[in-house]
Structure 1
Amino acid sequence: MLIEVFTNGKVMIDGNDTGKQYHAQDALYDYLTKSEGFLQVKAAKVKKAV
């Protein structure tokens, strides 16, 4: 899991843009408190790619 936070406020998770409505502090908080949601989304993307 790679969470990139840029100085202009842009947040990318595993190379995917999260959009302007999703702030860096929200991404980090969600990852730390609800990491199972991030892992489910990642697993779904892997299944979809195969």
Structure 2
Amino acid sequence: MYTRKEKETAIELYLKNNKNATKTVWKLGDPSVPTLIEWYRKQTKKNYPKKKNV
């Protein structure tokens, strides 16, 4: 489990990295890219369509 502060720090870095989740996770070492994006979506209440498998 991650604390609220850890999530907020990750999201702040994500935004500083121009929403580059891979770069953010690489710098932090944690969480996974999908987890970071999910945290961002929950914080901003944005619902993006999920990618469809082609």
TM-score between the two structures when normalised by the length of structure 1: 0.35
Q: Write 1 or 2 for the structure with the bigger share of strand.
A: 1
Q: Write 1 or 2 for the structure with the bigger share of helix.
A: 2
TM-score between the two structures when normalised by the length of structure 2: 0.33
